[in-house]
Copies of this chain bind each other. A is one copy, B any other.
Amino acid sequence: MKKAIILLSGGLDSATLVAIAKSEGYMLYCLSFSYGQRHSIELEAADRVASSNDVTEHKIANLDLRLFGGSALTDDIDVPKDRTADEMVADIPVTYVPARNTIFLSFALAYAEVIGAKDIFIGVNALDYSGYPDCRPEYIEAFEKLANLATKAGVEDIDRIKIQAPLLQMSKAEIISTGTSLDVDYSITISCYDPDDKGLACGHCDSCQLRIKGFKEAGIVDPTRYQEQ
């Protein structure tokens, strides 16, 4: 069986990603990060997703991106709430973590090289996250090129590494429909940038808004537990 590294955050997108890789027959090696994000609830969700998918291995890498700061997800900057769709795509949001996907993919590359995996799955999406530079197709292509120069694959005559981003051009509704057809249990995932202590979603950050809209457009009941307003 071929092996895949899956970048797993515990959100809706990466839970769908796991289901897609599983349906394609890969052995699943999941990688999550404790990177100084404000809520550890994300890692608990990642753990639930890994457990419910019978993955071969789930590693958590510790790295403290608070060392550099510069993001609402790692610093004491307020997470924006109730922004319109236009506002979300107008600028690079404060929830953007500098070079985060590059760092995550670099670790996935190390993991892939050590276990001999040729496929790295990442749940980036270019439509909803058009404000994030490292969620664009040209970024993914550039990383794939780099990956094959960076590793033994680039020197020895062996199979190339592929960066698989199956959600790249899907709408949130399409992601949810795809996941639902693959039996993803979205109740165990969390998308919120600003959950409370019990893990209940705020319902107002960009990520919650995109999730709510996605379930609505997909015509699927949203199992997310939101804070009472």
A positions within 8 Å CB-CB of B = 59, 61-65, 67-70, 92, 97-103, 105-107, 109-111, 113-115, 133-134, 136, 138-139, 142-143, 145-147, 149-152, 154-156
Pull 10 A–B residue pairs with CB atoms less than 8 Å apart, ordered by A: A99-B107, A99-B109, A99-B150, A102-B106, A102-B146, A102-B147, A103-B103, A139-B149, A139-B154, A142-B149
Q: What residues on B are CB-neighbors of A145 within 8 Å?
A: 142, 145-146
CB distance from A75 to the nearest CB of B (A): 10
A150–B163 alpha-carbon span in the complex (Å): 15
Q: What residues on B are CB-neighbors of A64 within 8 Å?
A: 61-62
Q: Is there an interface contact between A113 and B142, defined as CB atoms closer than 8 Å?
A: no
CB distance from A188 to the nearest CB of B (A): 25
Q: What residues on B are CB-neighbors of A143 within 8 Å?
A: 146
Q: What residues on B are CB-neighbors of A146 within 8 Å?
A: 102, 139, 142-143, 145-146
What 3 A-B pairs are tightest by C-beta distance, nearest first?
A99-B110, A70-B114, A98-B113
Q: What residues on B are CB-neighbors of A107 within 8 Å?
A: 68, 99, 103
CB distance from A6 to the nearest CB of B (A): 15
A33 closest partner in B (C-beta): B63
A153 closest partner in B (C-beta): B133
A151 closest partner in B (C-beta): B133
Most buried by B among A69, A133, A152, A154: A133
A59–B101 alpha-carbon span in the complex (Å): 21
A61–B115 alpha-carbon span in the complex (Å): 25
Q: Is there an interface contact between B98 and A110, defined as CB atoms closer than 8 Å?
A: yes
Contact of A109 (CB < 8 Å), options: B98, B139, B156: B98
A61–B156 alpha-carbon span in the complex (Å): 31
CB distance from A140 to the nearest CB of B (A): 9
CB distance from A133 to the nearest CB of B (A): 5
